[in-house]
Amino acid sequence: MNLNIAILIILIMAALWTTMTRSLLRSAIGLAAMSLVLSIIMFRLNSNLAAVFELSVCAGLIPVLFVSTISLTHPLTKQEVMQHMKDRIRRFWYLPFIIVAVGIALSLVTVKLSIKLPPHEIEKNVRTLLWNERPLYLAGQIIVLLIGAFSVVILFKESGKDER
Amino acid sequence: MNVEALQIFWPFLLFVIMLFIIGIYCISITFNLIRALLGVEILIKAVTLLIIIAGFVSGRTALAQAVVISLIVIEAVAITVAVGIVIGIHSHNNSLDTRKIVDTDK
């Protein structure tokens, strides 16, 4: 239990670093670190397959997407960086204090959760559940993937037309 | 009912709430489009953690994993499309600042 709390604290610190760091590149790396910590939590909570997905897609693919986007956009000039830094410090320095205050306040509150849990049933395999019982989940994923592919094609086709 | 599993629900929920606050703060305070997307990612991570802990507490980790896998696929596609839109906005406005976005159709 204490180890879980320590991992969750690391997760919050990674999220704070992602939000507050000045460089967007470091933010993308912070996001990958967040996904890594989250996948460790998933492994500890017996969700191995979801953890592997989280590790490969969220800690691998999505930061690469962000890094390539950052590299495609123009960096700021030194003057703009200095101006933005002052502005950012003014806007973001509240956040750690808010998080610490909320954490302390919520940990002092003793909540009696009256959750009605569903009746116990024999644990199924994820693969069996996805393929045999919930095939619509897979169909939905395929449809979403196709929509995403077509959207990206249309987006870059339009921008190509504009350049001409 | 797994009483021990239910006992760890509240500490996890506390951290999920904190992640939500960080994500919403990031989206509402920043003017940078990429950082706003990072805020959305943080919110999605909070939801993922909530689903996983709910599955662990209720003893239905398989169902929670199926939902999380679907969520990860949707997240990846949504972020890919959003990143494409951000690149399009940047090529039109030459800036990622939301205050400098100009409607070119007018």
Interface predicted TM-score of the whole assembly (ipTM), two decimals: 0.90
Residue of B nearest to A53 (CA): B69
Whole-angstrom distance, CA of residue A4 vs CA of residue A151? 40
pLDDT of residue B106: 56
Chain A CB contacts of B100 under 8 Å are none
Please check the confidence at residue B2 and state whether its pLDDT lies above 70. Answer: no
List the domain range (segments joined by +) for residue B20.
Answer: 3-100
Residue B105 domain flag: no
Residue of B nearest to A158 (CA): B88
Q: H or E segment at A73? A: none
Q: CA of B74 to nearest chain A CA: how many angstroms apart? A: 7
Point out the residue among A31, A47, A147 whose CB comes nearest to the CB of B61.
A47
Give the pLDDT band of residue A57 (cuts 50, 70, 90). Answer: very high
- Quote the number of domains for chain B: 1
Q: Where are the domains of chain A?
A: 1-77, 124-164
Please check the confidence at residue A67 and state whether its pLDDT lies above 80. Answer: yes
Contact check, Cβ <8 Å, A15/B35: no
Give the pLDDT band of residue A106 (cuts 50, 70, 90). Answer: confident
CB B80 within 8 A of CB A58: no
Residue of B nearest to A94 (CA): B25
CA angle, corner B44, sides to A29 and A95, nearest 5? 65
Please check the confidence at residue A96 and state whether its pLDDT lies above 90. Answer: no
Radius of gyration of chain A (CA): 21
Higher pLDDT, B97 or B87: B87
Q: Which residues pair with B97 in a beta bridge?
A: B32
Residue B43 domain flag: yes
A132: contact with B, CB 8 A cutoff? no
Query: Among A92-101, A104-113, B14-23, which is the least confidently predicted range?
Result: A104-113
pLDDT of residue A14: 94
Higher pLDDT, B97 or B21: B21
Chain B CB contacts of A106 under 8 Å are 14, 17
Q: If you average pLDDT over every residue of chain A, what do you get?
A: 85
pLDDT of residue B8: 78
Higher pLDDT, A146 or A157: A146
Contact check, Cβ <8 Å, A47/B63: no
Residue of A nearest to B65 (CA): A50
Using CA atoms, how far residue B45 sits from A132, A158, B77, in Å, is 28, 32, 15
Chain A CB contacts of B45 under 8 Å are 15, 34-35, 38, 58
Counting residues of chain A whose pLDDT is more than 70, the rounded percentage is 87
Give the pLDDT band of residue B58 (cuts 50, 70, 90). Answer: confident
Q: CA end-to-end span of chain A, whole Å?
A: 60
Residue B106 domain flag: no
Whole-angstrom distance, CA of residue B35 vs CA of residue B46? 17
Please check the confidence at residue B70 and state whether its pLDDT lies above 70. Answer: yes
CATH of the domain at B86: 1.10.287.3510
pTM above 0.90, yes or no: no
Please check the confidence at residue A75 and state whether its pLDDT lies above 90. Answer: no
Chain B CB contacts of A147 under 8 Å are 77
Show the tokens assigned to A137: 């989940």
